[in-house]
Amino acid sequence: MKKELLKINNKEVAIQIVNSEVKSIRNKDITTVGARVYDKGLIGVAGQYGDKNIEALYKKAEDNLKLNIKYPCEITKDVQVDFKSKPINKNKSEIMKEIEELFKELNSPLNDLGFVASGDIKILNEDRSLTNDENLNFYMSKQSIEIGILLKEKGSPDIFDTAYVFEGEKFNKDEARNGIINMCKAHKNKVEFQVSKGEKIRCIIPQNEGTQRFFEKELNGEKIGRGASFFSNKFGKKLFDDKVTLYCSNLFEEHGVPFDMEGTLNKGEENAFITNGVLNNGYTDKKTAYKYNLKATGNAFGKFNEVPSLEADNLALKKGDKTLVELIDGKPAIFIIMASGGDFTSDGVFGAPVQCAYLFDGEKLIGKIPEISIRSNIYDMFGKDFVGVPKEGFKGFGIDMLAVMDMEIS
C-alpha cells in the first residue's frame, strides 16, 4: 500500500472597491489536504480543511479503497523539484497604501469622464505540495497580484461597460491608473464602424475569451480514446496555420502549473497538442493515457479531495516574434475586451456577441465601437484567418495572453 499527500495553502488579501472607494478588506488563509492510498490497483481518497490529524485522514482514504475505484497506474517516483514564482515587487502594506492612493487619484478623472469603478485587488500566495512514499516531493509557491476593476459609465443601463484587468507579480500604481483612464477615454470616444455583410476584421482577443474552448473540449483524451472527438482520425495532419502552437502551459506567467495532481511534470510547449499547425495529440492524465495507449501529458487536476481527473484549463498559444503593431499591419483592428455568451457548435462553428471592443492601432485604444457579433469556425480562425500571437501583451490592458485573428463580423 502506497500513500500520497496533496497539500494546498491559499493566502489572500482582497481589497474591495465600491464606487471608486475602498469598501472592505478580506483576509483568507485556507489549507486543504487530500490524502490518497493506493493498493492492488485501487485508489482511496479523503480530504479535509486544515492539516491536522493526517494519519486519521489516511485512515479514511484507506477505508475508501472499498469504493473500488480502479487506478491501474504507477504513482510518480523519485522526483524532487521546487518551483517558485518571482516574488511580488512590494510588501502587502505598501500595496494596500498604493491602492488607497490609486483610487484617490482616480476619483477626480473618473468623475470627470463619467465612470464609476468597482471590483477588487487581490494579493495572492499559493503553496502546493505533492509528496508520496516513493520519494516524490513536488513543491510550488506562486505569488501574484490580480486586479479586476469594472468600469461603469454613468447612466448606462448595463451592469458594467468595460473592465481593466491585470495579473502578475509587479504592481505599478501609475500603469494601473493610466490604463484605467485611457480605457475610459477610449470608451467615451464612440467611433463609427461600418462593415459590409460578411466582411472580416482583424480582432485582438484575450486567449481566455472563449476562442480556445473547442480545443479544451475536443482534445480531451477520453473523447479521443473513444473516437468521440471532433478531431478523431485527424491526428498527425496539418490542420491549422504554421503560427499555431498550442500547449498546456507550465509557466506561472501563463497561469500554468509545473506539475499536475498525479505528480506528472507538465512539460508545456515540449508536449504541445498542436505544433506549427500540426495536430499532435490530445491531453491525458495517467489513467487515460494507460487506458487508450496515449501520450501522458500531465493533465490530472480537480479538487483536493477527489480522484485526480482530466482537465485542461491552462491552454496557451505560443508567442510569436511580432509586435501587435506588426500583426495589425496597418489594417483596421479591434481590441476585444468582452465577448461573453458565445460558443462553438459541435461542428466547430464559432459565434459570439462582442459587448465591448475598441478600435485599436496596436499601441493605444482609439474609440469604442458599437456592439457587434463575431463569427468564424475552428479551421478558419486558427487556419487561414489566424494572424499570430504577439510577442508581448498590451500594457494598457494588463493581459498579455492575446491572439490575433480575422473574424467575420455583423
Partner 1 sequence: MFNFPKDLYCDVRIERTFKTNITYENGILTQNKEGSYCGGFVRIYDGDKWYYSSVTDDKKIQDKIDELSSIAIKNKYIYKNPSVEKFQVNIYDELKFKENGTKNISNKDKVEYIKSFIPVFNGYPEVVSWNVNYIDRYVLKEFYSSKGTRIKYDNNVFGPVINFTLKDRKEFFNHRWQKQVNSLKENEGDKKEFSLAVEEGINFIKNGRLVEPGEYTVVLAPVAAGIFAHESFGHKSEADFMIGDEGMRAEWQIGKKVGSNILSIVDWGDIQGGGYTPFDDEGNRCTKTYLIKEGKLSGRLHDAETAAIFEDKATGNGRAINFEFEPIPRMTNTYIESGDKTFDELISDIKDGIYIKDIRRGSGMSTFTLAPTICYRIRNGKIAEPLKVAIATGTVFETLNLIDGLSNKVDIVSFLHSGCGKMEQFPLPVGFGGPYVRVKKLSIR
Shortest Å distance, C-beta 189 to partner 1 = 18
Partner residues linked to 324 by β-bridges: none
C-alpha–C-alpha distance, residues 195 and 394, integer Å = 25
C-alpha–C-alpha distance, residues 324 and 362, integer Å = 5
Taking CB under 8 A as the criterion, the residue among 49, 80, 135, 329 binding partner 1 is 49
- Binding flag, residue 152, partner 1 (CB under 8 A): yes
- Binding flag, residue 68, partner 1 (CB under 8 A): yes
Window 225-264: residues binding partner 1 (CB under 8 A) = 226-230
Q: Other CB atoms closer than 10 Å to residue 75's CB: what's the count?
A: 18
User: Which phi and psi (to 5°) does residue 201 adopt?
Assistant: -130, 150
Q: Other CB atoms closer than 10 Å to residue 378's CB: what's the count?
A: 22
Which residue stretch of 89-97, 126-134, 147-155, 380-388 sits at the interface with partner 1 (rule: CB under 8 A)?
A: 147-155
- Binding flag, residue 212, partner 1 (CB under 8 A): no
> Contacts with partner 1: how many residues (CB under 8 A)?
70
- Binding flag, residue 87, partner 1 (CB under 8 A): no
Taking CB under 8 A as the criterion, the residue among 48, 144, 250, 264 binding partner 1 is 48
Nearer to partner 1 (CB atom), residue 22 or residue 251: 22
- Binding flag, residue 27, partner 1 (CB under 8 A): yes
User: Which phi and psi (to 5°) does residue 180 adopt?
Assistant: -65, -45
Shortest Å distance, C-beta 213 to partner 1 = 11
C-alpha–C-alpha distance, residues 10 and 49, integer Å = 11
Q: In the structure grid, which three cell numbers stand for residue 81, read together?
A: 523539484
Nearer to partner 1 (CB atom), residue 24 or residue 135: 24
- Binding flag, residue 222, partner 1 (CB under 8 A): yes
Taking CB under 8 A as the criterion, the residue among 309, 311, 379, 391 binding partner 1 is 309
Which residue stretch of 183-191, 274-282, 300-308, 313-321 sits at the interface with partner 1 (rule: CB under 8 A)?
A: 300-308
- Binding flag, residue 202, partner 1 (CB under 8 A): no
Q: Can you spell out the DSSP letters for 150-195?
A: EEEETT-SSS-SEEEEEEES---HHHHHHHHHHHHHHHHSB-----
Sequence-distant (6+) residues with CB within 8 A of 260 are 266, 285, 298, 299, 300, 301, 308
- Binding flag, residue 219, partner 1 (CB under 8 A): no
Alpha helices in 298-395 (DSSP H): 324-328, 378-381
Taking CB under 8 A as the criterion, the residue among 120, 260, 380, 400 binding partner 1 is 120
Which residue stretch of 68-76, 247-255, 259-267, 399-407 sits at the interface with partner 1 (rule: CB under 8 A)?
A: 68-76
Distance set, CA 320 to CA 242, 381, 403 (Å): 11, 16, 10
Taking CB under 8 A as the criterion, the residue among 82, 174, 343, 392 binding partner 1 is 343
Q: In the structure grid, which three cell numbers stand for residue 26, read together?
A: 478580506
262 HSE (CA, 13 A, CB side): 26
Q: Which residues bind partner 1 (CB under 8 A)?
A: 14, 16, 18-20, 22-28, 30-31, 45-50, 64, 67-70, 116, 118-120, 148, 150, 152, 154-160, 217, 222-223, 226-230, 287, 305-307, 309, 338, 340-343, 345-347, 349-353, 355, 371, 373, 375, 410
